[in-house]
Structure 1
Amino acid sequence: MASQLSPDSSRSQTLDRGLKALKLIANSPVPMTIDEVANHLKLGRSVTYRMIRTLEDHRLVMRDASGRLAAGTQLVGLAGGVRAEMRALAAPILSHLANTLEMTSFLVVPDGEEAVTVQVAEPTSTAAHVAYRPGTRHPLNRGAPGIALMTGLDLQPSEREAVTAARTSGWAYSEGEVIEGMASIAAPVLTNDGTAQAAVAVVHLALSLNAHDVAPQVMKAANALRLKLN
């Protein structure tokens, strides 16, 4: 009698481990050692070393001068294909928004239970602004972009008051939920059926951000992108 297959028998454990290592290194704010990767993934050092060497061969991981591990240059090329059409259409809209408000603007899309930044535009006319990088992730239920994305989901009895308020106002506000001391305003980019396929957002110092002045500009940018996509 043939043995019954387990639910995970069709998956590659080696590939799964390698991808987890890659995500860990790419999302780390500082370069990591092999031992740190091994400890985090609960793997032996020799297994981790072989995975890292393979990722290095494909330029997905690189070492700095001290031998620590960071995201490799090949990731830039791979990331370029993520939501390519949406990013191309959003680029001039985000740039205009960033320079109009003199704030960093960015485009966020949902990825399961997370919100992921896929495009960033920084103002060119200011000496100082908030640095934000593509690939930044945070839980969908935290931060203005995530809240804006959740307005496109079905109404939940236990949803945050901020989500309920954003459904009515058309924009979301958060302070210190993703970056301490920073505030963000976001508006959903809706499809024809009301699903939030993305969110346009800005981030700035919380003390100097006037939400009611900024929100209309963010909503205008989100609507401009919606018209281009739909």
Structure 2
Amino acid sequence: MTDNDPLKRGSKTLDNGLQVLEVLGDSPNGLTTTELSERLSLHRTVTDRLVRTLEHHGFCRRTQEKRIVLGNGLVALANRVQQDLRGTARPILEDLAEELQVTTHLAVQETEDTVRALIVIPPRHSRIHVGFREGQVDPIDRGSAGLAIMSMREKQPGERDEVDTVRERGYAVTKGEVTPSVTGISAPVPYRNEPGLLSVGISVFEATDEAHLATAVVAAADALGRELLR
């Protein structure tokens, strides 16, 4: 049994069920039971049993075309995650999105090597903006959100030189590292507590005035840090 074996980590059935949700999350048009079985390398009967259990809890559903998609039960569940943090951060991100007319986001360190987009706010009145889903997980050493978070940690062997630059100027800028042709500007949130290290950032197709954008992002990150310390 290897270290990656789900039986060694815990419940194999639960592991399979979570993999169903992960695969469906990457399949916006849904999958048939057969397609899902093939993706997971599971017997069709086992897959069908997993899907029926998840359906019972509202975590997935079947369309009229008999394709399996994620269910609305996940939305309610996700909204309960870090409610206090979400409630505090959302108006700050909304104000930043409207001020700059860009997509804003709050990222949290998920593991030692990854960050998760906990909140994503598009501008309400912009005809064109960058779009990506809440919950997206990316490598911590790729993209401005991860570099901003890394800047709050002790310097580590092999880390990118850009992290020191973030420590010096207070924000990170990357281009095309997570999404092609998209520039990210993120600042660390000066707050150290649960749920972990945080960054506030924006995603734009073109950063015509990087200094102005960065100043606004840093101000928003500082404002969130002050609110969280209250």
TM bracket (short chain) = 0.7 to 0.9
TM-score by length of 1: 0.88
| Superposed counterparts of 1:34-113, under 5 Å | 34-112=33-111, 113=113
Any conservation in 1 of the 2:6–2:12 contact (CA below 8 Å)?
no
* Structure 1 stretches of 4+ moved >4 Å: 6-10
Amino acid aligned to 1:229:
L
Amino acid aligned to 2:100:
L
Any conservation in 2 of the 1:189–1:196 contact (CA below 8 Å)?
no
Gap regions ≥5 residues in structure 2: none
Q: CA shift at 1:8, angstroms?
A: 4.7
Any conservation in 1 of the 2:28–2:69 contact (CA below 8 Å)?
no
Residues 79 and 188 of structure 1: CA distance in aligned 2, closer, same or farther (over 3 Å) = same
Any conservation in 2 of the 1:153–1:196 contact (CA below 8 Å)?
no
Amino acid aligned to 1:140:
I
Deviations 1:12-62 (A, max 9, x none): 211111112112212445423333332332222221111111111111012
Any conservation in 1 of the 2:145–2:199 contact (CA below 8 Å)?
yes
Gap regions ≥5 residues in structure 1: 1-5
Residues 183 and 33 of structure 1: CA distance in aligned 2, closer, same or farther (over 3 Å) = farther
Cα RMSD for the two superposed structures: 2.3
Residues 42 and 105 of structure 1: CA distance in aligned 2, closer, same or farther (over 3 Å) = same
Any conservation in 1 of the 2:6–2:15 contact (CA below 8 Å)?
no
| Superposed counterparts of 1:57-206, under 5 Å | 57-112=56-111, 113-191=113-191, 197-206=197-206
| Superposed counterparts of 1:9-28, under 5 Å | 11-28=10-27
Any conservation in 1 of the 2:33–2:44 contact (CA below 8 Å)?
yes
Residues 213 and 7 of structure 1: CA distance in aligned 2, closer, same or farther (over 3 Å) = closer
TM-score by length of 2: 0.88
Amino acid aligned to 1:100:
E
The aligned length equals 223
Q: Helix, strand or coil: the match of 1:88?
A: helix
Structure 1 distance, partners of 2:179, 2:64, is 29
